[in-house]
Structure 1
Amino acid sequence: MPFGGKLSGKNRWVKLAELVPWEAFETSYAEQFSESQGAPAKSFRLALGALIIKERLGTTDAETVEQIRENPYLQYFLGFHEYSDQAPFEASMLSHFRQRLSLELVNQVNARLVEDALAAERATPAVENGEMAAESRDLQTPVEASSDAEPSSSTESEDEDEPPMPPNQGQLIIDASVTPADIHYPTDLHLLNVARASSERILDYLHNAIAQPGMRKPRTYRQQARRAYLKVAKQRRATRQQIRKAIGQQLRYLRRNLGHIRRLVEAGAPLSVLSRFWYRRLLVIQEVYRQQGHLYQHRQRSIEHRIVSLAQPHVRPIVRGKAGTPVEFGAKISISCVLGYCSLDRLDWEAYHEAADLPHQVEQYKARHGYYPESVHADQIYRTRTNRAWCKERGIRLSGPPLGRPKAGAKAEVDRQAQADAKICNAVEGKFGQGKRRFSLGRVMAKVARSAETAIAITFLVMNLERCLQAMTLFFVLILATVVGLKGPRNSARSDWQPLGSLKAA
């Protein structure tokens, strides 16, 4: 290779570069750019590869660029033909990459990756007494599965238009979780204080736009408002009455500022003097004032589409009911897991009931594999009567004990099956743990909604790439163990062994 040296084919980044279907999505990515205007766009491989590197290494945008500049393997992963000591792009380009690569596009790449990985595992020879033999049975194609079933009766016509439905196969594990956003823990008092301070900045911009000699700036009482907020915010245990009084004060200060802004606009102050950031902030402040005023006047504690952050107004509170974190603030996601590969089936910033996603996730499984799963493993919240009836119509077993009192003598078998189902469900919990502890699902740092959605989808793509590397390693280990076992202990040692330093590039 023209790097002034040779790269090892056993390097992880070289293997990962062969797994990602770069060429399949280059055209669809390039359709969003103009051929006649602007500078030439970066390639799809460069954009997606940079985000994969950032997520896998857990680095910042600036550090990601430095890692790419210093590492020839990372440059090979991005499609470079030769090593360069120059940075391939500015760190700010990663923000553009996150907005250009939509959630749908990343999910398509992920689906193609999982499809290719399952096909590769299906094509590998089964190893007796090993895990791959069991996986190959679960990953049969619809044609192979139908050939193992009982032959059809002679009375059936061979000229039917539609082939018979293959039997249900495999296990589908589904679950939902929340990916917390990087925001200050929201309280009504803190939110109103930030809104009031921002309205004062907007008021200054508008006043300066039409200021004339002798014209006085509207009075805002910003120092008194700040002291009133700190008087309660610094208390160790403020009472409910003190908090309500402080919220009322901030609401009145904010109402006064919004009134001044409205009068300045009527007097001729152009809103165009505000940057896009501050104009958007003004719209958010008005909605926050409306919501908090409604909660204050009606003494309520919840409202639809509640804003909890001025910087990220798309974030919503998601009630989870857990002991440590009963309420989380971020995007709610529903995923499905098959043989260790995860698919992001739904992402929504609003709270929703995940039980309604079960039919869609099962149909997605059928669209990918050609048949329904033999069993669906999910938490208690998914086991509604509607979902039970829907699965029963299609011959799918829904995990968990059946409704009603168990039959006489069958309680032990029901408990055993429920325990086995619970063990299977642990796989998806492990995926959430991997995403939140090893990768960035524990705190999504992207501030824009579209960028955050892409970052979440990239995490699941990287997790599936890790699963592919693990499967490749396991396959070679099992094959090597089988070969060594066939040769016997005397032939187990290789005569052509070379030290690591003498390996040549593949």
Structure 2
Amino acid sequence: MSRPREKRETGEQDLFRSRLDQIINMKHELVRLAQAIDWPVLKERFGAVYSDGPGMPPLPTRLMAGLAILKHTFNLSDEVLCERWVENPYFQYLCGEEFFRHDLPFDRSSMTRWRSRMGEERIVALLQESLSIAVKTGAMKPTDTRQVIVDTTVQPKNVMFPTDAKLIHRARERLVRLAKRAGLDLRQTYVRVGKLALIKQQRYAHAKQFKRANKALRRLKTYLGRTIRDISRQIAGDAELDALFKWSLYQASTVLEQRQRQRGRKIYSLHAHEVECIGKGKAHAPYEFGVKVSVATTLKRSKGGQFALHAKALPGNPYDGHTLAAIIPDMEKTIGN
């Protein structure tokens, strides 16, 4: 992949347009932030994932890094950020634009691809730069990082509540769709009767008619089991089809066999298999479905506020006390203290 073509401050004038630095307040907080950030360091860190080669060059690093800063500073979704970027000249100045633009120079999906390409290690560079700017501007003293608070919380995933009936129904639907794409002729797809059984199970469970609800649940399991066996018979001996269905069949079999109070790994979402069921003792949310995250902050409030020094996802729902051995060295590496 070729390297991005970085924009440079040209200082050129345009007869029909005014430069952003001539129409905005240069004492605005975002303007001062743009002037304080060490953009060459970020370009070097983020540019390490690219190599000189053929193909269309990626978007400028300052544009993408500026969008990431704005997204987390104002807690915006990608869609809202794109809408605000077109309207806000300060957003555009932070991202390196010289003249006001009335259209987006990027696609919304470019932000998602950029984050996945950079990975967690290089996104940490933004956290390090924010702490460096806090020290430069006097918002935080280096001594404030000597005592920290390390705690864990849950980063909830936007998934539906994982009832057995929904998971079983979704697993069968995914297998049927995959079988159609692969050209398999299933004996029966259970599209109509499967949806009817799910509706019945939900209504009986809502009415607390648990015998009827369990009967509908057993019917859903029967439909899924038949679909699994039908596909397994048809792909037997075909290495290509076996590789194609391997993960989907594993998920479907696990969902079919798992029980409510069983120990060990369970599947709570088919499209986000990293989701765990985590209980943090909250009265309003006894159980949350997501990934455990470790967060480290300064012990005392600094002049500029409370600063986050480290954040790391902890898949597998490990015990909190067992995570410090890995988190403390990472945090020391991030803050250099």
Report the Cα distance in structure 1 between the residues aligned to 2:47 and 2:161, rounded to whole angstroms.
Answer: 40
For residue 315 of structure 2, what is the aligned residue in structure 1?
Answer: 349
Residue 40 of structure 1 and its aligned partner are, at CA, apart by 0.6
Change (3 A) 1:366 1:38: closer
200, 204, 216: which one pairs with 2:176? 200
**Match runs of 1:108-147 below 5 Å:** 108-118=125-135, 120-121=137-138, 139=143
Report the Cα distance in structure 2 between the residues aligned to 1:182 and 1:49, rounded to whole angstroms.
Answer: 26
Residue 181 of structure 1 and its aligned partner are, at CA, apart by 0.8
Rg larger in structure: 1
Query: Structure 1 length normalisation: TM-score?
Result: 0.55
Is this contact kept in 2: 1:295–1:302, CA < 8 A? yes
328, 350, 353: which one pairs with 2:288? 328
- SS of alignment partner, residue 336 of structure 1: strand
47, 57, 61: which one pairs with 1:30? 47
Residue 332 of structure 1 and its aligned partner are, at CA, apart by 0.9
285, 292, 309: which one pairs with 2:255? 292
Alignment of 1:41 with 2:41, yes or no, is no
Is this contact kept in 1: 2:162–2:269, CA < 8 A? yes
Change (3 A) 1:362 1:201: closer
Residue 369 of structure 1 and its aligned partner are, at CA, apart by 6.8
Residue 229 of structure 1 and its aligned partner are, at CA, apart by 1.8
Report the Cα distance in structure 2 between the residues aligned to 1:369 and 1:200, rounded to whole angstroms.
Answer: 50
Opposite residue 312 of structure 2, the aligned amino acid is: R
For residue 197 of structure 2, what is the aligned residue in structure 1?
Answer: 228
Report the Cα distance in structure 1 between the residues aligned to 2:98 and 2:251, rounded to whole angstroms.
Answer: 52
**Match runs of 1:37-436 below 5 Å:** 37-118=54-135, 120-121=137-138, 139=143, 170-206=146-182, 209=183, 218-235=187-204, 236-238=206-208, 240-266=210-236, 271=241, 282-296=245-259, 301-338=261-298, 339=302, 340-363=306-329
Opposite residue 353 of structure 1, the aligned amino acid is: Y
Residue 234 of structure 1 and its aligned partner are, at CA, apart by 1.8
- SS of alignment partner, residue 102 of structure 1: helix
Quote the RMSD (CA, aligned, Å): 3.2
Is this contact kept in 2: 1:178–1:333, CA < 8 A? yes
Residue 303 of structure 1 and its aligned partner are, at CA, apart by 4.2
Report the Cα distance in structure 2 between the residues aligned to 1:110 and 1:369, rounded to whole angstroms.
Answer: 9
Is this contact kept in 2: 1:218–1:260, CA < 8 A? yes
Report the Cα distance in structure 2 between the residues aligned to 1:258 and 1:355, rounded to whole angstroms.
Answer: 41
Change (3 A) 1:37 1:50: same
Change (3 A) 1:369 1:66: closer
Change (3 A) 1:82 1:368: same
- SS of alignment partner, residue 343 of structure 1: strand
For residue 4 of structure 2, what is the aligned residue in structure 1?
Answer: none
- Residue by residue, what CA displacement relative to the aligned partner does 1:363-419 show, whole Å, maximum 9, x if unpaired? 566666776xxxxxxxxxxxxxxxxxxxxxxxxxxxxxxxxxxxxxxxxxxxxxxxx
89-98 or 14-23: bigger deviation: 14-23
- Residue by residue, what CA displacement relative to the aligned partner does 1:90-124 show, whole Å, maximum 9, x if unpaired? 122122122123112122321232144235428xx
Residue 317 of structure 1 and its aligned partner are, at CA, apart by 1.4
Query: Structure 2 length normalisation: TM-score?
Result: 0.80
Residue 328 of structure 1 and its aligned partner are, at CA, apart by 0.8
Opposite residue 13 of structure 1, the aligned amino acid is: L
- Residue by residue, what CA displacement relative to the aligned partner does 1:49-99 show, whole Å, maximum 9, x if unpaired? 112323444444344223323332211101122333332111221221221
- Residue by residue, what CA displacement relative to the aligned partner does 1:222-262 show, whole Å, maximum 9, x if unpaired? 32222222111123244554444433322221121122223
Residue 197 of structure 1 and its aligned partner are, at CA, apart by 1.9
- SS of alignment partner, residue 92 of structure 1: helix
Change (3 A) 1:220 1:269: farther
Is this contact kept in 1: 2:276–2:316, CA < 8 A? yes
- Residue by residue, what CA displacement relative to the aligned partner does 1:167-203 show, whole Å, maximum 9, x if unpaired? xx94322211001111111111111111112222223
Percent identical residues: 23
Opposite residue 139 of structure 1, the aligned amino acid is: T
* Structure 1 gap ranges (5+): 123-134, 141-168, 211-215, 372-506
Opposite residue 354 of structure 1, the aligned amino acid is: D
